[in-house]
Chains A and B, each alone.
Chain A
């Protein structure tokens, strides 16, 4: 695998929502990143519905139907439906397959009846738990790959939120341990992704399906979620921001293995990935408040191609079921952005999105298109190793955070940030030395299995 060594976008000023340098076209002809933002709706089954394949199929049938119908009702031109596998669907690869086939059929029906353009993304659950199984060789691994094979048949896009490195990350994040975070994301996460995504891309190519992308959810979103809002006292927002920058270098591996995008919605690092790869990305922010709060609700839409709600449990609201309600909201969000495109006001509109959150907190700041691009640049300029580029991303992130006086950082968080920087500076230059150091430091962490990553 060759690490990226140049930027797809020559300047961040060229990055815009709705348009990617390398748009992709689905089996059914939906173009993503081809000029318009498209909503991506993600319904989640209610508890109990997972009991049998029949009840689960019925649940997804309703949820996906409601979303498609609402698009027709209010006139949203196109939609992507994502179903994130619950563990039962990946543990029984036939379940995931049946639901994929059912959804493909629903999409076809809406196309014929109304002319609605839609596509389906199947996100396989990563049921390989790093602390329990060998990531490369276990029953869970086999199930994951089998699920990809079976879903790729009828799905338009396949994705996963891969777990490599999670065992070390979980240990490190609650210990303020930036070394462990770097190790888990850059080395462990990166190696696992290379192994896994080579296989996913191969499947996608054989099945003429789109290999979408991964997300650093298991690490960066955990950190962002723990940093929380303005009341929480779990971890500093500055640490969450560093985690995100490092995580971008990890998620990028999917595309280096051949994934073409659209990147997966909960990858808040996606603006960085778009800057590097030029591929379309799915993003989520304010209209995924149904799934979690965040401090970058608008800014994260600045360069999105798909616009998602992350996940909403099926439920009746006064205005219809949740998939219908959120399909409507996302579609209107997209419609405003697409109007901006049609009017030639996209720069102004984008500036409004960015200014909403650029100084709301560290995450919004580093994910503003300019800063995201700069972090991307640091990554491609340090392409000699996963380690080098990930560390460079962290340094650039810290430099940016400290460099703009308009971004206010609490005393404690600033102090913490300076502390992480000191640790990062003390780390060895070469990847091998770093790995040696970490193998010693983390060898006793519960569940850490070096051979899951081809180490030792």
Chain B
């Protein structure tokens, strides 16, 4: 198993790198973050025009048939450039769920819009005090005839403020803690009875609290099998975790580069601080952690694309390693920058916050270590 990129993949990587380096500078990014809008629609439209939004969808639905490797390549570059546009929420997660689970009619209504840059999606599952396991969802909905009635609320719905449609994870059977009985329902964000409270997040993105009061949607809006949402979710979550980790790897590599540069320029006690052996070794350790993450990332992407038996094991290792390496690298990037690294002005701290946000999603380090241990014993 050698990981090699195809010509197309190499081109995708290069074009993403080129476009973002030239058109997504940090100052521009901060303007978006500090504006009232949830993301930059001009950028988003360009992402659509460049084919990025279509890249990982099947050709039947208007995509280019890319897989985990393409997701990884794009996500990594989005991480390098600290892109706040909701590629992860709308394309990697929401889009793939719709693509995998929706009826043809719904696909054509939403997926076409999504791929052309005109539809934003959010995935709403987390509930107060229950932020770590999808099986820990309690919100229930009642099915009658060919419609389904939603009542309840969801918290910290990422991309929730921007979303046109929300994919709500809820119970049509079973009890909190059970994996069975969960259903995924597509709800228009402006449906009657659906109220949202929008806000920004610390990593410069958008989110919302949602409450549903007698929201009535057609039963056809259930994605996948009713009561079997976890089956639909599993592969999407896997690729989603890969995407987040690749984004983190991109952020980490930018942090290592920036720290190396800064310590060469910054002088203290009469010499570049890069001359201090403790800092040199710290950066060597940052580099080591980065490369170990990169190796796991490449292997995971390859294994997911090849449906390798070890794909989930490797993914768990990746998410666990990114959690510790991401913190190590981000903390030390700030430490080596000193005071200036703790300001809003430098991008260092914004990478740190994005890495923290990634770590907070889809399972902590210990969760993935436990998962890794469990899969290793098989």
Do A and B come together as binding partners?
Answer: no
